[in-house]
Amino acid sequence: MPASVKKAFALRLDPALYAAIERMAAADLRSANAEIEVLLREALARRGMTVKPPVPARRGRPPKEEG
């Protein structure tokens, strides 16, 4: 079962635009996908559209069950 459910779709970008996104992502220690999500959320916020913050992925081992 995936940690979080996300909508997957193909996105065609100009290579120069994608290269700029990759540079921004590297500077922020993010993946290009995460950088695109941040940019989209910022653009939506500027237009007055609020989106719930993402639920952080659960990390590490699950707790041991007692019993």
DSSP 4-36: S----------HHHHHHHHHHHHHTT--HHHHH
- pLDDT class of 63 with cuts at 50, 70, 90: confident
Hey, what are 4's tokens? Answer: 């979080």
Task: Kindly report, residue by residue over 13-62, the tens digit of the pLDDT.
Answer: 999 999 999 999 999 999 999 999 999 999 999 999 988 887 777 888 88
Hey, what are 33's tokens? Answer: 């996908």
Torsion (CA) 42, 25, 15, 57 in degrees, nearest 10: -80
